[in-house]
Structure 1
Amino acid sequence: VSGPDAEALLEYLSVARVGGNQPVGKGVYTHFLDETGGVHSDLTVVRLGTESYRVICGGDTGHRDYVWMTRMAEARGLGRVHFEDRTDQLATLGLWGPEARQTLQALADDPEELSDERFPFATAREIRVHGLPVWAFRISYVGEQGWELYVPFSYGLGLWDALYEQGVTPVGIETYANSRRLEKSLRLQNVDLLTEYNLYEAGLARPKVKAADFHGKAAYLEQRERDGQPAYLCTMTLRENVDAAGVARYPVGQWPILDPETGDVLVDSTGRRSYTSSVVYGPSVGEIIALGYLPAAYAREGDTVTMEYFGEHYPLRIEAVGYRALYDPDNERPRS
């Protein structure tokens, strides 16, 4: 997103401050809200220059966010902004884990530039790997240190081969976007983050509200002034997972959350029904982890609710109300 109006547009759309005195190469995790304060988008904005930004969206939200930005620019009369969809031009690899830095240093033309002091968290810059230009963004979606590595598609296979030769383990979306992120209590747009819920309910509200206006700010401020929210996103663990036939079950997907006494689906004061927005086995903690919005009266750490899974009932213990990781392997800050 570039041009004289790029900063004005992204500042208006973003809850966080992405422009102003943010330095080139600084990445900011932020959200776009709808007019009711619901979470429309969950993304990262990196300043590339005085009038240019890279907007990094989730794998299934890019086109929707692109349309949202273009429509908002038109609605606000911001005609001096240019959008370029790079989805079909850039390959991306996530290099994450306790040995991410030493693995990349073994391939980098200048290994020392990848040190924690010279390449801090949430910054991005171009590096060279075996002479190839790689745009490296130090951020992680699995709770451990690492980088997102962006290269033209023509370089993608070469970069992958070099990393694989260093012993990198290939994993898919079930690992980084489900099991590891749930151990870190990270949220996923269109699953845990929805326009039906606000950032305070999701545990992602920022400590301060920026002075500049942004879309949905009035609703966001009203939500901030409440004594409490109707519901809260909770991290839970499944305490038993053996079904009536004695088979161990490992659920994924969305399942109703019930009152353990009555067996009724939990419903908050606005009429929203509770369900597991995410659920998966977390290998680091040895637990089946679930996220779900619970009515305020039920959102109490240590209490138990019930999950219905294919007609059978399983106990869920509430481990955290709002954001708190069950497994925090190092000091890297999460996206949230």
Structure 2
Amino acid sequence: MRDRARIVIIGAGIAGTSTAYHLAKLGVTDVVVIDQGPLFRTGGSTSHAPGGMFQTNTSRTMASWARYTIQTFAGLEVDGKSGAAFLGGIELAETPARMQELKRRRGLQQSWGIPGEILGPSEVKRMIPIIDETKIHGGLYVPDDCIGRPLLAAEAMGIAARAAGIDFHGEVEVTGFERTDGRVSAVVTDKGRIEAEMVLCCAGIWGPKVGRLAGVPIALQPMQHQYVKTEALGILKELSQGGAVESAMPLIRAQDHSLYFRQHFDQFGIGNYRHAPLPVDAETLLPFRLAPRMPSCMEFTPEHFEECHRATVNLFPVVAGAAQADAFNGIFSFPPDGMPLMGEHADLPGFWVCEGVWITHSAGIGRSMAHWMVEGDPGIDVREADVNRFARFQTTRRYVNDRGSQQYREVYDIIHPLAQPSVARGLRTSPMHDRHVANGAHFWDVAGWERPAWNEANAPLTANLALPKREGWAAEEWSPIQGAEAVATRSAAGLYDISTFTKLVVEGPEAARFLNYVLANDVDKAVGQVVYTCMLNPRGGVISDMVVTRTGADEFLMLTGTGSGLSDLAHMQKVARAKGLGSDRLRIRNVTHEYCGIGLWGPKAREILAAVSDSDVSDAGVPYYKSRLIQIGYVEARVLRISYAGELGFEIYMPAPHGRATWDALVEAGAPHGLVACGIGALDSLRIEKGYRLAGADLTGDRTALEAGLGWSVNMKKGDFIGRAAIEAQKAAGVPTRLCCLTLDDDTAVALGKEPVLKDGAPVGYVTSANYGYAVRKMIAFAYLPVALATVGESVEIEYLGARYSATVANDPLFDPEGKKLRA
């Protein structure tokens, strides 16, 4: 075994072999892959995964990885056997609610470019002869869903990577790591140490243990999951032509009972999520050499299979009375939010993570990891999967267990886009939290923060307003109070708790130069100047957007998103390290919990602020896009003359201990002016009719700032910055798509996001975000459309739960297009 390598990969399961395979494709072969088990049946989840690969996912990124993976598996071969069998997949609907969900998923397929169709019961029966079609309402069929052969795929990719020059070693156990100058510098094993520039942890269910050895948290919960194979069934033997065909039926999901099925020649395979979560401590998992059986397979617990068996027999009567030929509790990985963990860990430079990877997405994720490690960009938006997205408390053992258990329970549930977690709540609150509780706030969990979505105390405001109504799916996690709060903000003033925004202080003699390299706009302005800008990747894609204020000669305050802040911080720290900027030249401090924030927006905002401050808050005293320190009662606060609501107003930041007193003072002063405490449901409505983009939805790393309509925030005169070359090239060539504002023509129509946008019946884009604009009285949706369709007045359709509604490309923004209210 070599004693040094550019990259050491820990784990030779599907994630590790896939990354090695794609590194080799990039010509990077100074790589060593090690695993504690034998190659390539290492004993992890890859070794027992049933291999069902369904592509449809609410995440565009995950669906993209899945499509690439099935194509890659189909091209892999060992001993003449392919890595994939294209049988198609069918998701069954046993209830009307699930049938509606299948229509939503068919919409997702159109948005992501996945072929599919809704089938009736008799059509499902033709494809699945053993089903009792009277028990279903229909199904969703995808012709190129497939059975993946993960062990074969891992072996094939490992063989190809080895042939290219990458070393693989089995039965090598990691015992520790070495650090030099704060970076990982070597992997210590029971067979010796390997010096490395980078280490990639692909240890799967052992990931948390490897993370502990490295001194970094890996937020992953291993969970037991049941899989059973019946004895041989005569009808399946007949369908498989006497055992010649592995499966004559598509893959099957019966998600109403948290089940999935596949044919194994003359046997029937049953996967069961319909049991209580059975978490496993990663520290107790044995390596292959010590385990009495495969370490990721535990003893079958029949008491957890009883409900599953009844539901299976109900759908497939031929299974009644069939004995079990094989049954085990296999172990899979569940992160707190169900998404993979990817990227270089902020706590240990050089230590990369690729965990929580399911077979379905493995080749796509491996390709992204290889490009990310070698080229600095994964080639696709990975915001949802960034390993640095979690706050420290979200990586504690109990949090990961409880949220991971919820992910297990809900893996096949019908989940509303705004559905809120039911466990591990109330852990991150602002100083004004008790005031929100007193107002009857309905809270949403945003990156672990409790944020008011609306306040029940404002219900009387709905009485005299002609607000649109919602029913069914569209009415979940929604209230007409959001509309009343939006109207109150536009007519008088709204008070918003914005404490959750990530607050970073960037300081030092290199601060201005550094920020001008990592951000697209020019922030090297006079003290007190506020600048809106974006953080771009090398492709010109928008990683995040933020507001930056120069607060001193060598000091800047950066305000970025609640959910993206920790990833933004990790990205900036990584760039700073690459530039060799030590703490004597640059410091980046996360002061999010030191300060709280209040948004005071609306035509009465200045009068209200003036009532509690002796400072000059006039237009001359605090001009638009300027920042000042002012006195509010006894408290010194920083105000920024900006407004996410598109109204006159201020963002106000003060030390967290003073937040509640400041809030109370504003509430008292605002009462005569009609001030209303509002939630983020209203704020989202206000921002969309003003044309403000939402990071993570309208803004992603896969669309450039030019496509997003933010070219005005990119300064090409200031010198080099990340993404500059891509922006220059696109300026010359022209953008392929543009983010467009659409209004739905039917006043009763609703969109929630991710619905397909169609022209002449064919998908041309998808809804990135949507909400009702109460000032313009229209349902508004944003969508990237081909430039040929990105013209005001162009007619398209949006498909919502199977129904199609006409929509029109509209002016952007719809509300106060000249910005007069902001500058009042």
The TM-score, its normalising length taken from structure 2, stands at: 0.37
Q: Deviations over 1:290-315 (max 9, x none)?
A: 11101112212112111011111111
- Give the aligned residue type for 2:545: D
From 238, 251, 258, the counterpart of 2:744: 238
Partner of 1:218: 725
CA shift in 2, pair 1:208/1:130, >3 Å: closer
Deviation at 1:251, TM superposition (A): 2.9
- Give the aligned residue type for 2:767: T
Aligned mates of 1:58, 1:234 — CA distance in 2: 22
Maintained 8 Å contact 2:508/2:586: yes
Maintained 8 Å contact 2:641/2:649: yes
Q: Deviations over 1:112-147 (max 9, x none)?
A: x11101210111121111121111111011111100
Map residues 248-267 of structure 1 onto 2, 5 A cutoff: 248-259=748-759, 261=760, 263-266=761-764
Which has the higher mean CA deviation after the structures are superposed, 159-168 or 305-314?
Answer: 159-168
Aligned mates of 1:35, 1:41 — CA distance in 2: 13
Maintained 8 Å contact 1:121/1:332: no
- Give the aligned residue type for 1:214: F
Query: Secondary structure in 2 aligned to 1:116?
Result: coil
Q: Deviations over 1:49-96 (max 9, x none)?
A: 111111110221111111111000001112221111111111111000
Residues 1:100 and 2:600 aligned together: no
Residues 1:200 and 2:706 aligned together: yes
Maintained 8 Å contact 2:751/2:781: no
Maintained 8 Å contact 1:109/1:131: no
From 125, 133, 152, the counterpart of 2:628: 125
Query: Secondary structure in 1 aligned to 2:746?
Result: coil
Q: Deviations over 1:226-274 (max 9, x none)?
A: 2x31111100101015xxxxxx443322211111x2x2211xxxxxxx1
- Give the aligned residue type for 1:252: L
From 633, 642, 655, the counterpart of 1:139: 642
Partner of 1:67: 570
Aligned mates of 2:711, 2:549 — CA distance in 1: 20
Partner of 2:11: none
From 780, 785, 801, the counterpart of 1:310: 801
Aligned mates of 1:158, 1:252 — CA distance in 2: 37
Partner of 1:287: 778
**Bigger proportion of residues as helix:** 2
Partner of 1:187: 693
Which has the higher mean CA deviation after the structures are superposed, 94-103 or 7-16?
Answer: 7-16
Aligned mates of 1:145, 1:136 — CA distance in 2: 13
Aligned mates of 1:144, 1:56 — CA distance in 2: 19
Which has the higher mean CA deviation after the structures are superposed, 205-214 or 89-98?
Answer: 205-214
Q: Deviations over 1:13-41 (max 9, x none)?
A: 1211111xx11111111111101111112
Aligned mates of 1:174, 1:251 — CA distance in 2: 15
Maintained 8 Å contact 2:649/2:822: no
Query: Secondary structure in 2 aligned to 1:199?
Result: coil
Which has the higher mean CA deviation after the structures are superposed, 94-103 or 293-302?
Answer: 293-302
Deviation at 1:332, TM superposition (A): 4.8
- Give the aligned residue type for 1:181: R
Query: Secondary structure in 1 aligned to 2:572?
Result: helix
From 593, 596, 599, the counterpart of 1:91: 596
Cα RMSD (Å) of the superposition?
1.6
Maintained 8 Å contact 1:240/1:314: yes
Aligned mates of 2:678, 2:705 — CA distance in 1: 30
Which has the higher mean CA deviation after the structures are superposed, 167-176 or 275-284?
Answer: 167-176
Residues 1:163 and 2:651 aligned together: no
Greater Rg, structure 1 or structure 2? 2
Aligned mates of 1:109, 1:150 — CA distance in 2: 17
Maintained 8 Å contact 2:741/2:809: yes
Partner of 2:682: 175
Partner of 2:820: 331
Unaligned runs of 5+ in 1: 242-247, 267-273
Residues 1:154 and 2:657 aligned together: yes
Aligned mates of 2:656, 2:573 — CA distance in 1: 26
Identity of aligned residues (%): 37
CA shift in 2, pair 1:208/1:128, >3 Å: closer
Partner of 1:269: none
Aligned mates of 1:208, 1:33 — CA distance in 2: 12
Aligned mates of 2:677, 2:757 — CA distance in 1: 34
Q: Deviations over 1:178-220 (max 9, x none)?
A: 1111111111111101111111111110285123111111111
Map residues 6-45 of structure 1 onto 2, 5 A cutoff: 6-19=511-524, 22-45=525-548
Maintained 8 Å contact 1:133/1:151: yes
Relative contact order higher in (CA < 8 Å, ≥ 6 apart): 1
